[in-house]
Structure 1
Amino acid sequence: MKMLVLGGTAYLSKKTAETAIAQGWDVTVAARGESGEPPRGAEFLRVDRSEPDGLDALGDREFDVIVDVSRIPLHVKRAVEALADRTRHWVFVSSISVYNDYATLNDSLHDPAPDDRGEVTPETYGPDKVACENLVRDRLGDRSAVLRAGLIVGPGDPNDRLGYWTLRTAEGGPMLAPGRPGRPVQWIDVADLADWILRVGEKGTSGTYDAIGPVVSMAEFLETVRSAMPSSKQAVSVWADADFLTEKGVNHWAGPDSLPLWLPDDYTFMLMRPFGPAKDAGLRTRSLAETVLSWWKGYLDNPDVRLAAGLTREKEGAVLGALLQRNRTWEVPAPKTGKE
């Protein structure tokens, strides 16, 4: 199988290319080459889709499968215009950020961004991905698949949302845990998603799917991480309610001063997308324990890495101390009887 990966030098797209190479595919990676090194064994072509002639380096080549993870509508527009007739199947990796309402479980989408938008911001991520999806479907029809990825975790994750909990659990002791223990969470291992992308392309699977694993509770998530770690230390979850965490300057979801995977209540259904359709279409998911151990192995190879998400130990200690102070109950002395 001949595959073109538009990108292929960072995280998911690179993992997809590496997986294809390991399976004996003939892989071409086309990118600017600014996000990292192309995988060993792939042909690398330097392209720049911000330029009108940016794909000329591909010449008139044809491919069995093209994979694109772009979030920039103009880049996707130029790619489908140039390459749609030169591939058997197109797999576009989108995002569950295309949905515009997470207070309920529904399929309502953001209005699409203009399809010639070439500059994007974090605030326009959802509308941009909607526009990209439409461009692929409109041009390739049932020769395309759109995979709306949820939270992608595993080795190489630049956002470190799983990494924070894995490393923090390994350190043991009282561990600040966010919100309700029963709050739902979801994720997909980057290796599982890469493998599914290849099978979708190889089989010519068409349609739109949420690329995400089963739902579990946050308490179950943390317990599984703890159980998976090869450590004699025992992290004990200390749960704090949302209002208290917000008051103490703890952030949601990702980034500095955050408790990863924690979301406001009106985002509850962001991490409750249906897993069944993707499973029926061939998505296979490994256990969380396997994902945790894969991340941990990568960390041991590079223990000086600085995590992009989570609380510092100083910040966590201060919040835990404030929580203890708030929850402390004082014994009321028994009244004196005069007979002492």
Structure 2
Amino acid sequence: MKLLMLGGTEFVGRAITEDALERGWEVTVFHRGRHAPPPGTASLHGDRTAPDGLAALADGAWDVVVDTWGGAPTAVRDSARLLRGRVGRYVYISSRSVYAYPAPAGLPEDGPLVDGSPDAGPVGYAEDKRGGELAALDAFDGEALLVRAGLILGPYENVGRLPWWLGRTAAGGPVLAPGPQELPLQYIDVRDLARWTLDAAEAGRSGPYNVVSPSGHATMGRLLRACAAVTGDRAELVWTDPQAILDAGVQPWTDLPVWLPAGELHDFMHGGDVAKALAAGLVCRPVEETVAATWAWLQDIGGTPPQRTDRPAPGLDPDREAALLAGGRAAAT
């Protein structure tokens, strides 16, 4: 198989590229040249936002193209139109954010969607991803594979969520742990996402798939205990009532990455229906493996994770955490 990876040097793109190489596929990486692609790939340079930025893709044919673009849908539109007739399957890594909010827990792929346009400039993350989906579908007569990922964790993460928790537990001492411990999580290890995506592309699948673990595949308790264990058991997890955290003005998801208290937003982020992807072969590894691999990668790169410039670094300010801990410890229910 011949894969054209649009991107391929960071996080999701890198994981997909490495999985393809492990399969023995021939991989071409199209990227801006800011980071080195994995060894064993052919490299083409271009900036999809610049005039003539796709010139390096004017020639060539591939079995599969995987596109992770999350900005203006016009970039997906232009790439897909240029490659039409020269690739067998166009795969777009989308997001469950394309579903109209609020969405109930258990929402399958045919749920209501946000508006989007393949001809739009940047609007917002959800609308841009939906526009990217439409661009791929339009160019390939509705036969594109739309991989609607949710929360993505694992090695190469450049958003900072799991790396922040690992850094915090590695520092040791009392750690503000948002309860309840049994709170179900829904996420996907980037390597499981990569494996399923390439399997599905090779099988000729098309249309939308929610590609995340089943809700409750892990819990907040399992995630943080795994972080504490792999970083040397120096952290004391202080499980704290969600309302006490909210009353203190701490922001879920940003101040305390991954965590959302039970309710409408939690159902939207951690309650999607993944029966279709499971039936198509999705297998999710235990959260302990995801945590351990991410920690090992962080150690390999010196402990400082990369951070996307278009995303603020997550995490709770140490002084605010200390003040909350000093104010009392309420066990989570």
| Structure 2, unpaired ranges of 5+ | 308-312
Larger mean CA deviation between 74-83 and 159-168 belongs to 159-168
Tell me if structure 2 keeps the 8 A contact 1:89–1:204: yes
Q: Which residue is equivalent to 1:333? A: none
Residue aligning to 1:219: 221
Q: Which sits farther off after the overlay, 132-141 or 280-289?
A: 132-141
Work out the CA distance in 1 between the residues paired with 2:103 and 2:222: 22
Partner of 2:46: 47
Equivalent residues of 2:77, 2:139 under 8 A apart = no
CA distance in 1, matches of 2:62, 2:315: 42
Aligned position for 2:230: 229
- The alignment's TM-score, normalised by the length of structure 2, stands at 0.86
Quote the residue 1:111 is aligned against: 115
Matched to 1:57, the amino acid is A
In 2, the alpha carbon distance for the partners of 1:266 and 1:7 equals 34
Which residue of structure 1 lines up, in the alignment, with residue 324 of structure 2? 319
**Cα separation, 1, equivalents of 2:187 and 2:315:** 17
Report how far residue 100 of structure 1 moved.
Answer: 1.9
Q: Output the CA distance in 1 between the equivalents of 2:175 and 2:102.
A: 28
- In the TM superposition, 1:41-80 aligns within 5 A as 41-71=40-70, 72-80=72-80
3-state SS of 2:84 partner: helix
In structure 1, runs of 5+ residues without a counterpart are: 328-340
SS class of match (1:85):
coil
Deviation digits for residues 92-122 of structure 1 (CA, Å, limit 9, x no counterpart): 100111112245234221111x32233x26x
User: 1:54: how far off?
Assistant: 2.4
CA distance in 1, matches of 2:143, 2:118: 20
Q: What is the Cα deviation at residue 39 of structure 1?
A: 1.8
Deviation, structure 1 residue 52: 4.9
Q: Which has the higher contact order (CA 8 A, sep 6+)?
A: 2
2:266 is aligned to 268
Structure 2 counterpart of 1:331 = none
- 1:194 & 1:96 partners in 2: Cα distance? 16
Q: CA deviation at 1:142?
A: 5.7
- Cα distance in 2 for partners of 1:52, 1:96 equals 31
Overall identity of the aligned pairs, in %: 37
Amino acid at match of 1:188: I
Equivalent residue for 1:21?
A: 21
Scaled by the length of structure 1, what TM-score is found? 0.85
Quickly say closer, same or farther: Cα 1:285–1:16, change in 2 above 3 A. same
| 1:40 Cα deviation from its structure 2 partner | 1.5
Give the equivalent residue in structure 1 for 2:310.
none
Q: How has the CA–CA distance of structure 1 residues 53 and 230 changed in structure 2, closer, same or farther, with 3 Å as cutoff? A: closer
Distance in 2 separating the partners of 1:322 and 1:260: 22
Shift in CA distance, 103/176, structure 1 to aligned 2, threshold 3 Å = farther
Deviation at residue 7 of structure 1 after TM alignment: 1.3
CA distance in 1, matches of 2:302, 2:4: 34
Q: Which has the higher Rg, Structure 1 or Structure 2? A: 1
1:171–1:235 contact (8 Å) kept in structure 2: no
Helix, strand or coil for the counterpart of 2:328? helix
Q: What letter matches 1:75 in structure 2?
A: A
2:178 & 2:257 partners in 1: Cα distance?
A: 9
The Cα RMSD (Å) is 2.3
Q: Which amino acid aligns with 1:321?
A: A
Q: Deviations over 1:100-154 (max 9, x none)?
A: 2245234221111x32233x26xx1101111111121233246421000111111
Cα distance in structure 2, aligned partners of 1:302 and 1:225: 18
**Alignment partner of 1:283: what SS?**
coil
| CA gap 1:178/1:48 in 2 versus in 1, 3 angstroms | same
- On the 8 A contact 1:252/1:263 being kept in 2, the answer is yes
* Cα offset, 1:171, TM superposition: 4.4
- Cα distance, 1:4 vs structure 2: 0.4
Matches within 5 A, 1:131-280: 131-141=131-141, 143-216=143-216, 217-226=219-228, 228-229=229-230, 231-233=232-234, 235-242=236-243, 244-254=244-254, 258-263=255-260, 265-269=263-267, 270-280=269-279
Letter in 2 for 1:60: D
Aligned length: 316
Q: Note if contact 1:94-1:129 (Cα within 8 Å) is conserved in structure 2.
A: yes
Structure 1 outlier segments of 4+, above 6 Å: none
CA distance in structure 1 between the partners assigned to 2:86 and 2:17 by the alignment: 19
Distance in 1 (CA, whole Å) between partners of 2:80 and 2:167 is 42
Q: Is the 8 A contact 2:223 2:288 kept in 1?
A: no
